[in-house]
Amino acid sequence: MLKSLFVSNYALIDQVEIDFSNGFSVITGETGAGKSIILGALSLVLGQRSDVSVLKNKEKKSVIEAVFNVEGYGFEEMFDNEDVDFEIETTIRREILSSGKSRAFVNDTPVNLGFLKEISSRLIDIHSQHQNLLLGESAFQLTVVDTVAKNDTVKDRYKADFKTFHSLTKKRKELEAQNDLLKQEADYMQFQYVELEQLKLVDGEQGELEQEREMLSHAEEIKSNLFANVEILNGESTALISSLKDVSKNLDKVSAYISEGEEWSNRVESAFIDLDDLVKELESKMESVEHDPSRLEYVANRLDQIYALQQKHRVDSLSALIEVRDNLALRLQKIASFDEDIVELNKEIEKALVGLKISGQKLTKTRTKVIASIEKQIVGQLVELGMPNARLVVDRKDLVEFAENGIDDVNFLFSANKKGELSAIPKVASGGEMSRVMLCIKALLSVSKGLPTIIFDEIDTGVSGEVADKMGQIMQEIAANIQVISITHLPQIAVKGKYHYKVYKKDSKTDTHSSIERISEELRVTEIAKMLSGSNLSEAALSNAKELLAQSNR
């Protein structure tokens, strides 16, 4: 339940702090006094968006802070998932900065607006006049039936089955569309694949072929230079390697007399070994290099084929060309295996459809089961609210196709007159009649939904007299289970409240301020009297106000 509300620098409010209690509270005040401002401020801590226009003083931030008792409403896991400390008395704070940006906190932990909205959906229901329009929306009507049916578990099972079925049918459509497209290109893809596959491409061979082509193209030059080097190193004329043997012998003769001699000798020995190995490699390579025109032609032709295909497929490497070939193979395989894939997918869809039908029928059963009680309770209360001929029928039909929320098309059909034709509520109901229907629905939901708090923002529009008195009684009945706050302009409802708050406006020389306070029983008599007769109080009005208050407390 809502324990308190603190508002500063918001619209016409400098600063107010209000404590609320359980049961039925009413908020009254003259038109324009700021009742809607209080509600607007509360909506911010419940996750609604705002901007800098709400600031009374544009140079200061606005702070709205609400304290809720959340004991027993299962918020622990939700708070833990968001790394927010759980407190039985949870504080939600919203700050609107002068820059227009806003910040939100739950128990002093920064949170996003999505989290605030998630909390508020389980904490409070604010009914404003425009919500009466929901009476004509099938989605709202279905929500009413589901709330009374308390079928969350069954509905969640259906939604999971629907998601599975929808995902599989979507996959089939995509597969069919993809296959149609691939079939249009199948012949050309097959031609491209064969063209690439016939080359038997091997990753890395392009570099090897390019190197071999260079060697074959310059075979004579390579052999000539290699032979020259062998002659220099080991030929009879120069015999560099033989000379190194002589150098090594000469160093051996003096190594006993100079300290560097042994090291020099070792270095010459190492050079001798390296050069000897080099000569052997040069001779081997010289023998292997042959001028082979046929091999050169083969290498050049293969490289030309590779280059041409790289250009054709707009790639710059052999590995990329191999990837093109493999992708073509996969796409061709998809075409070949399409029939098998569709058969398997259809089996999955059929299985999912069976499950969906079962869960859909179970969901329909939960809804059908409560329809009669919904009709009976709403019509019974409408009779008490001065509509003796009211009829309300919850019309349920099967949908042609499965939908996200089930296989049920639910419509509330209404008539206020004995012989009136049943039709959609907004088409046949006046503003006052819609207010009464909505109050009855809210009374129904308040018991079933289990919300801690409900706020009625002038739900009494278009009614008066005995009807207003009965609306107040219904709100009292709802308040026996949850906290009810009603913003009202009718004395018949105001006297029903256990607690009475007054919103008022003050004008200074430079500014206008709105504020709110809980009023005493004595001041309450005066306030009710003003609601009855206007600002010119009479003894009759005061006496009437006392009588109304006395009757409401019996």
pLDDT tens-digit readout, 170-210:
988 888 887 777 777 777 777 888 888 888 888 888 888 88
Output b/e per residue, 133-150; b: 16+ Cβ within 10 A: ebbbeeeebbbbbbbbbe
Of 40-54, 63-77, 121-135, 300-314, minimum mean pLDDT range: 121-135
Q: What single-letter amino acid sits at 92?
A: I
pLDDT confidence bin for 239, thresholds 50/70/90: low
Q: For 395-426, what is each residue's pLDDT tens digit?
A: 999 999 999 999 999 999 999 988 888 999 88
- The CA distance from 266 to 269, in Å, is 5
Has residue 231 got a pLDDT over 80?
Answer: no
Residue with tokens 């919904």: 374
Same domain, 101 and 54: yes
pLDDT for 447: 74
Same domain, 109 and 42: yes
Same domain, 212 and 114: no
Same domain, 483 and 545: no
Has residue 211 got a pLDDT over 90?
Answer: no
pLDDT for 219: 76
Question: Is there a domain that residue 435 lies in?
Answer: no
Does 484 or 449 have the greater pLDDT score?
484
Has residue 116 got a pLDDT over 60?
Answer: yes
> Per-residue pLDDT averaged across 482-504, rounded?
92
pLDDT confidence bin for 235, thresholds 50/70/90: low
Extended beta strands in 421-478, E state = 423-424, 453-457
Same domain, 546 and 477: no
Q: Out of 311, 336, 361, pick the residue that ends a domain.
A: 336
pLDDT for 294: 84
End-to-end C-alpha distance for the chain, whole angstroms: 26
CB 262 within 8 A of CB 248: no
In what helix (H) or strand (E) does residue 28 lie, and over which residues does it extend? strand 24-28
CB 446 within 8 A of CB 478: yes
Question: Is there a domain that residue 173 lies in?
Answer: no
As a whole-number percent, the residues of the chain with pLDDT over 90 amount to 35
Q: What is the CATH number of the domain that holds 470?
A: 3.40.50.300
Same domain, 473 and 533: no
pLDDT for 491: 92
- The CA distance from 387 to 357, in Å, is 40
Q: Out of 336, 363, 378, pick the residue that ends a domain.
A: 336
pLDDT for 99: 87
pLDDT confidence bin for 428, thresholds 50/70/90: confident
> Per-residue pLDDT averaged across 440-462, rounded?
82
Structural domain boundaries enclosing 551: 521-554
Q: Out of 336, 371, 390, pick the residue that ends a domain.
A: 336
Question: Is there a domain that residue 357 lies in?
Answer: no
How many domains does the chain fold into? Answer: 3
As a whole-number percent, the residues of the chain with pLDDT over 70 amount to 97
Same domain, 501 and 551: no
Question: Is there a domain that residue 400 lies in?
Answer: no
Is the dihedral angle over the CA atoms 393, 398, 401, 407 positive or is it negative?
Answer: positive
> Per-residue pLDDT averaged across 43-64, rounded?
88
Has residue 317 got a pLDDT over 60?
Answer: yes
Question: Is there a domain that residue 474 lies in?
Answer: yes
Same domain, 550 and 506: no
> Per-residue pLDDT averaged across 365-377, rounded?
96
Question: Is there a domain that residue 52 lies in?
Answer: yes
Has residue 524 got a pLDDT over 90?
Answer: yes
Question: Is there a domain that residue 195 lies in?
Answer: yes
Question: Is there a domain that residue 365 lies in?
Answer: no
pLDDT for 91: 94
Here the tokens at position 392 are 């309300």
Same domain, 107 and 207: no
pLDDT confidence bin for 129, thresholds 50/70/90: low
Here the tokens at position 441 are 């629905």
pLDDT for 130: 65
Of 94-108, 209-223, 254-268, 441-455, give the range with the top mean pLDDT: 94-108
* Mean model confidence pLDDT for the chain: 86
Does 255 or 206 have the greater pLDDT score?
206
pLDDT confidence bin for 237, thresholds 50/70/90: low
Q: How far is CA 452 from CA 119, 318, 522, in A?
A: 12, 69, 30
pLDDT confidence bin for 238, thresholds 50/70/90: low
Give 402's contacts (C-beta < 8 A, 6+ positions apart).
162, 165, 356, 360
Same domain, 515 and 456: yes
> Per-residue pLDDT averaged across 82-103, rounded?
92
Here the tokens at position 201 are 């491409």
Same domain, 95 and 37: yes
Same domain, 183 and 331: yes
pLDDT confidence bin for 252, thresholds 50/70/90: confident
